[in-house]
Structure 1
Amino acid sequence: MLAQSPVRTAVIILIAIIVVLLAALAAWTRLKAREIEALYPPTGEMIDVGGYKLHAVHVPRPVGADLPPLVFIHGASGNLLDQAVPFRPRFEGRAEMLFIDRPGHGWSERGGTANDTPDGQADAIAAAMKAKGISSAIIIGHSFGGAIAASFALAHPQMTAGLVFLAPATHSWPGGIAWYYGLTQTPLIGPLFANTLALPAGLSRLESGSACVFAPNPTPGDYISTTAPALVLRPGAFRNNAIDVANLKPYVTRIAPRYPEIKSPTVIITGDSDSVVLAHIHSEGLARDIEGSELVWIRNLGHKPDHVTTDLAVRAIEKVAGKDVDLKAAAATAEAALAADDASCQG
């Protein structure tokens, strides 16, 4: 029997090492994902939306409410806590609220392939609203949630009392997406990457990544612990998030020409220092496409008006609800508070 060549032996040993390493990473990922889930358990209820369930926090309409129902849609890599943390305390006693984990995010089930694009997710949110007896609401969408909010208004105009877009991603943009989104959404390599390397790599960048999303504004000290962004690093959620992001550009390229059909009262809040979405494409595009909408530009604001300029967002929601609000004055106050912010992004 002929002996194996040294090269072949080395290759076999290398392959064996890689297999063992991947198996170890997969086992570690499963354990770490369980730790993350134990740290951030569900905080709401599971709502059946037709064959699958969405996790949501529903705040019933209070006695003496002065605002219509409010429905909040989080962005990519997030969950309902990202909107509930800044907004729930501000609207307690004033409005019925629904904070939803988008399909396949947080604790929500993914549902079918219809939820791979914003229109399917908009339909899922509409179904959740109906299940809770909400016939119409102001829809608030941050970032990726902006594309869903716009799709919601197109598909369910009778359920859309108004729209507030916060740093929205709604139009086609030059260039592509981060390499790991493209890799993760592929059929074979994607699940392998999500189940082995994504979680340890993501945990190592959780703080720096959050800093880049907020920059030039500082990240709140308790942001990671209170909004649980680590939930997106679990293999299933990570892959769902990648599919969402990979499908966004072709989807908005197709759907954006329909935005002029939107007739709901609309306010768009955006920052001139947003490094995540190009405000002059997305926010200005919405202001151009939705007749009667109001665009509020904030100097030195990054991608998180929901957390950084919460007061301004509250005022925008009030204005969409029909209250007499001076958004220019509110914007000036917000800008003054941010003038000295110079937090850096090291991502």
Structure 2
Amino acid sequence: MLFLDRPGLGFSDRGGPQNAYPDGQADAIAALMKKRGIKKAIIVSHSFGGAIAASFALNHKDMVEGLVFLSPATHPWPGGIEWYYSVARTPVLGWLFSTLVAPPAGLAAIDKATRAVFAPNPRPDDYIEKTAAYLAIRPRAFRNNAIDIANLLEYVKRVSPRYREIRAPTVIITGDADNVVYPQIHSRQLHEAIAGSTLLTIHNLGHKPDYIVTDLAISAIESVAGRKRNLKKLAVEAEARIVVVK
């Protein structure tokens, strides 16, 4: 298994300007796979990573064994992006904002923000520490992520019509209570575009299927790998175990 940071996040280098777009990041993944001697793989993605995985499937189809999308962001959405991403992406003011404002503001907001990502499900108490979530509010990482997000809308407007070209075995898992990436805009349209794909919409699930319905996500990976898994039945069982915080 190969786990990687998006370019310029975590501890990875940013690389060239092409890495500010999902197809550039998909190319970086393909290059890393080749360097590691991985000829073909199941590509698993979450949220923003959905656009990268879809781009990977379009541009490196011979390297795709299957696709698993978890709450993917893949299609144009109304309303644009949050104001602080727009500020952070600008050439001069963006650096000042990302250096002077984002870190202290992020420290103050990180508990509430991470709980909102999980909502309406409970966030693990040790989530921030275990995932090193503070790395995301370092100036360089914050600005790189802001640029990525600011570029995403126009990118998916241009690329999403091509998703019908994807032929790899595909499973999409989303929650009907996801208020971060709306399932009707993204997961539903992605399912309709990819012939033969399986869409699992889980009642009362928020934006974190990787944490809340982990066993189902693993079964989805096993399914696209060719193992027999009754995903519909497993989805019902996972849904029955979901906890909602009120």
TM class, shorter-length: over 0.9
Cα deviation, residue 342, structure 1? 2.2
Residue number in structure 2 paired with 1:74: none
Q: Are 2:158 and 1:254 equivalent residues in the alignment?
A: yes
**1:235-292 residue CA offsets vs partner (Å, 9 max, x unmatched):** 1101000000000000000000100010000000000000101110100011010000
1:47-86 aligned within 5 A: none
Residue number in structure 1 paired with 2:227: 323
Q: Distance in 2 between matches of 1:246 and 1:229?
A: 21
1:225-304 aligned within 5 A: 225-304=129-208
Residue number in structure 2 paired with 1:145: 49
What's the Cα RMSD here?
0.7
Unpaired runs of 5+ in structure 1? 1-96
Q: Distance in 1 between matches of 2:236 and 2:189?
A: 23
Q: Distance in 1 between matches of 2:55 and 2:133?
A: 25
Cα deviation, residue 329, structure 1? 1.1
Q: Partner amino acid for 2:199?
A: L
Partner of 2:174: helix, strand, or coil? strand
Q: Partner amino acid for 2:139?
A: P
TM-score, length-normalised on structure 2? 0.99
Q: Partner amino acid for 1:191?
A: W
Partner of 1:279: helix, strand, or coil? coil
Q: Are 2:109 and 1:184 equivalent residues in the alignment?
A: no
Q: Distance in 1 between matches of 2:201 and 2:183?
A: 9
Query: Residue 117 of structure 1 is aligned with which of 21, 24, 27?
Result: 21
Give the percent of matched residue pairs that are identical in Structure 1 and Structure 2.
61
Q: Distance in 2 between matches of 1:130 and 1:232?
A: 28
Q: Which has the higher contact order (CA 8 A, sep 6+)?
A: 2
Q: Distance in 2 between matches of 1:124 and 1:223?
A: 28
Q: Distance in 1 between matches of 2:108 and 2:202?
A: 31
Query: Residue 77 of structure 2 is aligned with which of 173, 183, 189?
Result: 173
Residue number in structure 2 paired with 1:29: none
> What is the aligned residue count?
246
Partner of 2:171: helix, strand, or coil? strand
Residue number in structure 2 paired with 1:128: 32
Q: Distance in 1 between matches of 2:133 and 2:40?
A: 29
TM-score, length-normalised on structure 1? 0.70
Please list every run of at least 4 consecutive aligned residues from structure 1 whose deviation after the TM superposition is greater than 6 angstroms. none
Q: Distance in 2 between matches of 1:143 and 1:115?
A: 17
Q: Distance in 1 between matches of 2:103 and 2:237?
A: 40
Q: Distance in 1 between matches of 2:168 and 2:200?
A: 17
Q: Distance in 1 between matches of 2:45 and 2:113?
A: 21
Residue number in structure 1 paired with 2:245: 342
**1:36-74 residue CA offsets vs partner (Å, 9 max, x unmatched):** xxxxxxxxxxxxxxxxxxxxxxxxxxxxxxxxxxxxxxx
**1:84-117 residue CA offsets vs partner (Å, 9 max, x unmatched):** xxxxxxxxxxxxx000011000000000100010
